[in-house]
Amino acid sequence: MLLQVTQSGLNKKKIFNDPVYGFVTIGSELVFDLIEHPFFQRLRRIKQLGLTDMVYPGALHTRFHHAIGAMHLMSITLDNLRSKGHEISQEEYVAGQIAILLHDVGHGPFSHALEFSLLKGIRHEHLSLLLMRYFNKLFNGELELAIKMFTNTYERRFFHQLVSSQLDIDRLDYLQRDSMFTGVSEGTIGADRIIKMLDIVNDNIVVEEKGIYSIENFLSARRLMYWQVYLHKATVSAEKMMIMLISRAKYLYQQGEPLFATPALHTFLERDVQLQDMAENTEILKAFASLDDFDIWAAVKVWAHHPDRILASISAMLLERRLFRVILSGQKFNRDAIEELKGRISDTYNIRRGELKFFLACGSMSNAAYVAGGQHINILTKKGRVVDVAEASDLPNIKAMSKIVKKYYICWPKHITMEKALFIQ
């Protein structure tokens, strides 16, 4: 819900009623104009968690929700740092808000799911930067400082750390928001307390020592959310199916097969668009900036009746939530069993071996709550020392959470059975 403040001269000062934080105030006309732009409004039509609502029905919140929430947390954080005596100009304040507001504006349909099929490995951060530069031209260079913060080229480094680090505003918002909408209470974090504990030492963000247990809870919540939500096996299955579907659609489209697609989707099916293409051709960038979840679902509903059996089968399965069977394991899978499974899939669908990639996916994924080294979460001790959180002697759990956990996955249509043992004996 959007409420308008009616005082004279404040026609662009708005208040959002956010389900996580309550009232969120938009105090800058530039920020308001960015939010009103169609490229940003598009985020209302991109779900924050992609296909996760197939597992958690409440996970229907959008990238728009997240961007507004992150901007709100940035405002609170900068106010807190000001209260501790750190000078932050109004220009820096607004630029910090804009940097976090637009940090995800480059996400495509279903958030992360299609970065490596529809977009062929173009990361959303690179697209966010392209769109920020587009906005910068549109608004006569007013985003210059925000872009420097986003790209870590501004001399005050702590601003970039608030936008992108192991303890950034992005994570503080999405953990709270995703936990709330999925109903996974284990993801709950004390974002307010963490923000109150933030400070700046030598131009780096630090956490006061008394906030160390909130950081431990933050890292634990992040680890649990990854395995229970972001990498839930049914979510993995749905995302792999969507990737297979888009890959099949692109193949057919580029072979000259008649295929329904919206104009925006057409642009990305007809050829493999590179990042440079979007940097050099504003029309392609605009096509991307109008592409959302609705383009994909509209196509899927039509493709379910296409004569191509592969395209039609996967489309119908997604629409009816007949997800592939998926197995996650710490062990590698038996190659002989996988070969047997390939044969059964080939026989069932009467497809060539080269088409098996549309019905079978296997690989690995990994996660660590905190990767010590590189970017740090720094603790400011009561004695004034700055130490990495992993070195804190009374937090053995953080050392355990620094370990990278790797899991192998395999998924295929449920109705196809296998006889050989899947795991290596």
| Model confidence pLDDT, tens digit, residues 7-65 | 444 467 788 999 999 999 998 999 999 999 999 999 999 999 999 999 999 999 999 99
**What top-level class would CATH report for the domain 2-232?**
mainly alpha
Element (H, E) at 15: strand 14-18
- List, as one string, the DSSP characters of 113-172: TTTTTTSTT--HHHHHHHHHHHHHHHTTTTTHHHHHHHTT-SS-THHHHHHSSTT-HHHH
Mean pLDDT check: name the lowest of 158-167, 299-308, 393-402: 393-402
Rounded to 5 degrees, what are φ and ψ at 395?
Answer: -125, 65
Query: 132 and 146 in contact (C-beta within 8 Å)?
Result: yes
Residue 185's CB is within 10 A of a number of other CB atoms, namely 10
Please enumerate in sequence order all residues whose Cβ is within 8 A of that of 385, keeping only pairs 6 or more positions apart, or say none.
none
Radius of gyration of the chain from its Cα atoms, rounded to whole angstroms: 23
Does position 425 have pLDDT exceeding 50, yes or no? no
Domain positions in the chain: 2-232
Tokens matching residue 311: 């395209």
Q: What angle do CA 367, 373, 377 make, to 5 degrees?
A: 85
Does position 336 have pLDDT exceeding 90, yes or no? no
Tokens matching residue 368: 């660590």
Mean pLDDT check: name the lowest of 64-78, 154-168, 211-225, 283-297: 211-225
pLDDT band at 300 (very low <50, low <70, confident <90, very high): very high
Chain mean pLDDT for the chain:
90
Q: What is the pLDDT of residues 361-371, one digit of tens each?
A: 998 988 776 76
30 burial via Cβ count (<10 Å: 0-12, 13-18, 19+): middle
Q: What is the pLDDT of residues 348-362, one digit of tens each?
A: 888 888 899 999 999
Tokens matching residue 198: 């933030």
- Amino acid 419: pLDDT: 62
C-alpha dihedral sign at 212, 213, 219, 225? negative
Does position 321 have pLDDT exceeding 80, yes or no? yes
Does position 71 have pLDDT exceeding 70, yes or no? yes
Q: How far is CA 415 from CA 308, 325, 349, 418, 424, in A?
A: 20, 9, 12, 10, 23
Q: What angle do CA 310, 315, 321 make, to 5 degrees?
A: 125
Task: Give which of 103, 37, 114 is closest to 73, Cα–Cα.
Answer: 103
Q: What does DSSP assign to residue 62?
A: B
- Amino acid 157: pLDDT: 96
- Coil, strand, or helix at residue 14? strand
Does position 232 have pLDDT exceeding 90, yes or no? yes
Q: Which amino acid is at 360?
A: L
Query: In 227-356, which ranges are E strands?
Result: 325-329
Summarize the confidence of residues 196-212 as an average pLDDT: 95
Query: Tokens 């680890």 belong to which residue?
Result: 223
- Amino acid 8: pLDDT: 40
- Amino acid 371: pLDDT: 67
Does position 210 have pLDDT exceeding 80, yes or no? yes
- Amino acid 7: pLDDT: 41
Separation of alpha carbons 267 and 245, rounded Å:
17
What is the distance in angstroms between the CA of the first residue and the CA of the last residue of the chain? 57
Element (H, E) at 229: none
